[in-house]
């Protein structure tokens, strides 16, 4: 049945052909800049825009061949935009990016109609859906209660033990779906502090398209990985295969897994405090398996989301008929999703097809016309999906964001409440840029945050508390 809970929307998924927003690399890498930004994802783009708004010289170095990082829209495979990474923008009242969609000449997708719960081959009865929602609220309250304790525990330890037939479904919603990790690997405090993510809208042309538009005019050197950052005293420089850039401040926005892998060398080494923080914020696993299903064999409406009453971790979330197209995505995450994606695209498509056949019957197999699957764990410049603190690891977010002289870390992992989101990454990039500008004397320490952020009143307000039914599809 269709859910009617207030503000429920989707929350994951994507659509298809790498509309590689590749642009020619900057003609020649500059030898110096006021600020060097490492990474052209949401955080890096936001940081660069902020530095440019203060009339300071910035250069972004990006290891990959496209702009957007984990916001990557492909348009060729399915003839419709396929967001291979992030798709949803949450919290329309406070999310500055949503307001930028129209400003960039793009469109917002209409709000999805609702969610379905499947019990085997049939839709759930009203009472079953109510039962799941009640159990989900209980699970969230238990996690919030545990988060108020003296010692941070895992979400698994906090979960009520009497969730009965909804146990595996709730474990999926609050773990792999919400954060890309199983509940035993997730800090109760981190999940409890996550800002309410109910209400989501999508950019019809894709979030990768939006990021490319927002990066317009920023000097970005693509296919130019930072390999070493020398940051002793006043002498800070970024080394790349194309040359060295001297800077007054450097903002590093790469994912925690890229940091943990030691892909960028630091001289001197980053203090253990920060290294430990990054290691406690490792990325979870979350992937989209995209299927083009001819003739709407599932009988679902535009952008409907569906979960099942599952009995184990081999489960997923369906986003159907994305933006009215025949493109559907089956999302997998956590340790099950990680193992599956390691088996390759064919195994992922096979799982997604079999899962839909189990829920809707064998007609689904014949309806699959095209398929694709993401494998974010294997993407060399990201190595996972979104950061999620291990038990006891929540304070690491603040630690990672602490400036180290002229060196600043940003990115979704550094946001205490909006971690794992695009708007969290964006906000972190703006904050790091403001701190860097203050460091180089381009912004007085008491100067308020200037444009392009807007509206100011909403941006500094307290984050809305986590919804009691957080985790329900649409509230990632
Ligand atoms: C499948 C999936 C679904 C998701 N769904 C949603 C969603 O619906 N809504 C939502 O809000 N969020 C979602 N997220 C999370 C969201 O995508 C991220 O939180 C956000 O995009 C992270 O932005 P970032 O700038 O912090 O990092 P990134 O996007 O990872 O940007 C970092 C950049 O640094 C570059 N880089 C790495 N190493 C180097 C180097 N050595 N030198 C130079 N550059 C380097 C990378 O190539 C990358 O472009 C999803 C993520 C995934 C994977």
What is the whole-number distance in angstroms between the Cα of residue 217 and the centre of ligand 1?
Answer: 21
Does residue 24 have a pLDDT over 70? no
Q: Is 420 exposed, middle or buried (0-12, 13-18, 19+ CB in 10 A)?
A: buried
Distance CA 286, CA 337 (A): 7
Distance CA 211, CA 68 (A): 6
What is the whole-number distance in angstroms between the Cα of residue 137 and the centre of ligand 1?
Answer: 30
DSSP 204-250: TT-HHHHHHHHTTT--EETT----EEEEETTEEEEEETTEEEEEEEE
DSSP 140-191: HHHHHHHHTSSS--BHHHHS-S--GGGHHHHHHIIIIIHHSS-GGGSBHHHH
* Structure confidence by residue, pLDDT tens digits, 76-115: 999 999 999 999 998 888 899 999 999 999 999 877 777 8
For the ranges 29-43, 71-85, 450-464, which has the lowest average pLDDT? 450-464
Does residue 64 have a pLDDT over 80? yes
If one residue of 20, 25, 68, 70 were mutated to test the ligand 1 pocket, choosing by the most ligand atoms within 8 A of its CB, it would be 70
Does residue 15 have a pLDDT over 60? no
What is the whole-number distance in angstroms between the Cα of residue 38 and the centre of ligand 1?
Answer: 12
Which ligand 1 atom sits closest to the C-alpha of 263?
Answer: 41
> Which residues contact ligand 1 via a Cβ below 6 A?
11-12, 38-44, 61-64, 69-71, 85-88, 225-226, 253-255, 258, 263-264, 286-288, 374, 376, 381-382, 385-386, 411-412, 420-422, 425
Q: How confident is the model at residue 23 (pLDDT cuts 50, 70, 90)?
A: low
What is the whole-number distance in angstroms between the Cα of residue 70 and the centre of ligand 1?
Answer: 3
pLDDT given at position 54: 97
The pLDDT of 116-134, averaged and rounded, is 97
Does residue 316 have a pLDDT over 90? yes
Distance CA 287, CA 373 (A): 7
pLDDT given at position 28: 85
Does residue 457 have a pLDDT over 50? no
CA-nearest residue, atom 20 of ligand 1: 422
The pLDDT of 428-444, averaged and rounded, is 96
Model-level pTM greater than 0.85?
Answer: yes
Given 3-state DSSP classes, what are the helix, strand and coil percentages for the chain, each rounded to the nearest 5? 35, 20, 45
* Structure confidence by residue, pLDDT tens digits, 174-227: 999 999 999 999 999 999 999 877 778 899 999 999 999 999 999 999 999 999
Does residue 27 have a pLDDT over 60? yes
Distance CA 171, CA 36 (A): 41
| Angle value at C-alpha 333, between 151 and 400, nearest 5 degrees | 45
pLDDT given at position 460: 35
* Structure confidence by residue, pLDDT tens digits, 274-312: 999 999 999 999 999 999 999 999 999 988 999 999 999
For the record, the structure tokens of 177 come out as 């779906």
What interhelical angle do 207-214 and 42-53 show, nearest 10?
A: 20
Distance CA 335, CA 151 (A): 25
pLDDT given at position 18: 35
Q: What percent of the chain has pLDDT over 90?
A: 81
Distance CA 316, CA 258 (A): 27
């Amino acid at each position: 049945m269709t859910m009617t809970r207030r503000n429920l929307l989707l929350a994951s998924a994507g659509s298809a052909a790498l509309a590689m927003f590749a642009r020619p690399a900057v003609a020649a890498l500059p030898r110096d800049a006021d600020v060097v930004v490492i990474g052209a994802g949401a955080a890096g783009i936001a940081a660069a825009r902020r530095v440019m708004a203060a009339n300071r010289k910035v250069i972004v170095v990006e290891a990959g061949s496209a702009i957007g990082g984990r916001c990557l829209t492909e348009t060729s495979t399915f003839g419709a935009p396929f967001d291979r990474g992030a798709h949803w923008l949450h919290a329309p009242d406070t999310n500055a990016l949503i307001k930028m969609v129209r400003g960039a000449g793009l469109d917002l997708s209409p709000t999805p109609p609702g969610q379905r719960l499947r019990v085997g081959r049939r839709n759930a009865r009203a009472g079953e859906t109510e039962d799941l929602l009640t159990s989900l609220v209980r699970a969230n309250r238990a996690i919030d209660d545990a988060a108020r304790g003296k010692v941070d525990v895992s979400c698994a330890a906090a979960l009520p033990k009497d969730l009965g037939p909804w146990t595996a479904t709730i474990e999926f919603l609050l773990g792999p779906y919400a954060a890309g990790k199983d509940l035993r690997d997730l800090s109760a405090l981190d999940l409890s502090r996550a800002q309410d993510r109910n209400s989501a809208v999508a950019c019809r042309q894709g979030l990768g398209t939006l990021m490319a538009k927002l990066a317009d005019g920023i000097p970005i050197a693509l296919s130019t990985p930072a390999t070493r950052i020398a940051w002793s005293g006043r002498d800070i420089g970024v080394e790349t295969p194309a040359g060295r850039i001297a800077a007054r401040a450097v903002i590093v926005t790469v994912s925690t897994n890229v940091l943990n892998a030691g892909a960028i060398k630091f001289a001197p080494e980053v203090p253990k405090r920060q290294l430990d923080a990054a290691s406690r914020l490792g990325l979870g696993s979350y992937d989209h398996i995209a299927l083009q299903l001819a003739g709407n064999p599932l009988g679902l409406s535009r952008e409907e989301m569906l979960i099942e009453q599952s009995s184990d971790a081999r489960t997923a979330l369906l986003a159907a008929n994305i933006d009215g197209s025949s493109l559907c995505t089956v999302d997998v995450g956590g340790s099950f999703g990680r193992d599956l994606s390691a088996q390759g695209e064919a195994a992922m498509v096979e799982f997604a097809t079999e899962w839909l056949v189990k829920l809707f019957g064998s007609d689904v197999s014949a309806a699959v016309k095209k398929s694709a699957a993401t494998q974010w764990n294997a993407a060399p410049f990201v190595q996972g999906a979104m950061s999620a603190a291990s038990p006891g690891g929540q304070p690491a977010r603040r630690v990672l964001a602490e400036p180290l002289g002229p060196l600043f870390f940003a990115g979704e992992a550094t946001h205490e409440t909006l971690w794992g989101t695009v708007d969290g990454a964006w906000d972190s990039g703006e904050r790091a840029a403001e701190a860097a500008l203050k460091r180089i004397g381009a912004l007085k320490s008491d100067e308020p945050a200037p444009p392009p952020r807007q509206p100011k009143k909403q941006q500094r307000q307290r984050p809305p508390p986590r919804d009691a039914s957080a985790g329900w599809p649409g509230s990632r």
